[in-house]
Chain A
């Protein structure tokens, strides 16, 4: 089943060939024309079932969750009249605006057919059997001599598949900000949020950046197997994850004493996983920093100078107001006094000046 799913994805995901024969004709024409053999559809000589409708399904329609399904819809004009523009829509399970996958417009000359391709992304689609409904000219804009052959339903089976997500955070052992020589605990949560189980091929690698040194023997996990690659300076994990389960991987690192202040150490673990469960990991999932709104962003470890709290015995950060309240009062009184004295002095100077003026 897995190989089949892979084959479908490689060959344009899943080609469900819907041969759609729509008898479209101008009302004035009224009757089907006789198509020439080279205009026949599907192949020349193939007898259309029911006289005017033929359906071709090239492959079994089975996909894994998250795969894309490529649906080919063929619309044929049996008559000699032009159709004018009309829509062809593809719906999922029911015909409604909420389940519309896509709509395309086309028009057909007499005896002409058109092939339209739709792509359906099954990400988030529940496992199980689903109907894909192709509908030509749903608004009945084209006058046709037969309106009831404009819709076709194709059944697609979506198989449950695993979906892997990874979160990564860190905790400073001393509870303060991160400084050189600090000990940090790295916490990586690998989750299977999909409906399908993931086999034991699931692997995770966390290459530590320059400035972080792994503390030997500290790697542990709630399930699976952890390891450390000293050459790559990477912590590794392998294991299986059933549907809707997770594993917590923890290890400790020490911030290198030579890390300059301030600096940021971005770090991201990467999970290799197998979406279609064919035994080969062919998808990757980078870890996300859950403390930021960005998706799948690295976890940044900010190395800063830690300022000590204010305290009588601890020479740390202090607020240094220019003046305390009493200082402000003293300053205000001093300025007012000085202002008064200088005004008096000014008047004395002016008076002396006037005296000298009157004396001369």
Chain B
């Protein structure tokens, strides 16, 4: 941090501050991020390969989606533990539908980001429950598109909702960084 005050102009100072800790600091954090992500990825892999554990996740996602849809009077039921179905449309919750990968990346970013332990705890909670809710909202939207505008299911699924999900997750993480991780600095 030495010499920070000797330069004028925000962009240049930002650059200098950013790498003032040296490449080693960045490399260390990058390795830490990769390691945490690997561990969490292993956990996700174990969950998806374990029938009992993954069945619980599938049932939770399918059950919550069906519950929200039924509040909206869509008359859905969960069939075979992982399929949300009405008499007009159905969504099968497979491994990739559960948002576990996104949650793992989110939690890794929370754990590696420099912050207090309680802030990390809040971040993990936001990641797990927030992304679950976001994924359920995505499935509900997709179900409505499938029911009302079935011709646009692919576009909605691959383009719109996927982008919304990525941006929503990013927004959630940024909000956590600004409001929780940086709270002590900002105050």
A323–B139 alpha-carbon span in the complex (Å): 12
Q: Which residues of chain A are within 8 angstroms of B66 by Cβ–Cβ distance?
A: none
A346–B18 alpha-carbon span in the complex (Å): 9
Chain B nearest CB, measured from A323 CB (Å): 6
Size category, A interface? 35 or more
CB closest residue in chain A, given B147:
A315
Q: Which residues of chain B are within 8 angstroms of A343 by Cβ–Cβ distance?
A: 18, 29, 113-114
Having A318-B92, A348-B14, one finds 17 other A-B pairs with CB under 8 Å, namely A262-B79, A305-B77, A305-B90, A307-B90, A319-B94, A320-B138, A320-B139, A321-B96, A322-B97, A324-B162, A331-B105, A335-B105, A335-B169, A344-B17, A346-B177, A354-B4, A355-B5
Q: Which residues of chain B are within 8 angstroms of A315 by Cβ–Cβ distance?
A: 88-89, 146, 150-151, 153
Chain B nearest CB, measured from A73 CB (Å): 59
CB contacts under 8 Å to B, within A319-360, are 319-324, 327-328, 330-332, 334-336, 338-339, 342-351, 353-355, 358
Chain B nearest CB, measured from A162 CB (Å): 44
Instruction: Name A's interface SS.
Output: helix
Tell me whether A346 and B185 are in contact (CB under 8 A): yes
Q: Which residues of chain B are within 8 angstroms of A305 by Cβ–Cβ distance?
A: 77, 79, 85-87, 90
CB contacts under 8 Å to B, within A265-316, are 304-305, 307, 312, 315-316
Q: Which residues of chain A are within 8 angstroms of B14 by Cβ–Cβ distance?
A: 344, 348
Tell me whether B170 and A317 are in contact (CB under 8 A): no
CB closest residue in chain A, given B76:
A305
User: Could you list 17 examples of A-B contacts with CB < 8 Å?
Assistant: A307-B85, A315-B150, A317-B91, A318-B153, A320-B93, A320-B94, A320-B97, A321-B94, A322-B162, A322-B165, A331-B102, A335-B173, A339-B113, A344-B18, A347-B21, A350-B185, A355-B4
Size category, B interface? 35 or more
> Any chain A CB within 8 A of the CB of B20?
yes
Q: Contacts A305-B87, A315-B150 given; indicate if A322 touches B99 (C-beta within 8 A).
A: yes
Tell me whether B4 and A322 are in contact (CB under 8 A): no
Tell me whether A327 and B146 are in contact (CB under 8 A): no
CB closest residue in chain A, given B114:
A346
Tell me whether B101 and A351 are in contact (CB under 8 A): no
Which of A312, A331, A344 is packed against the most chain B CB atoms within 10 Å? A331
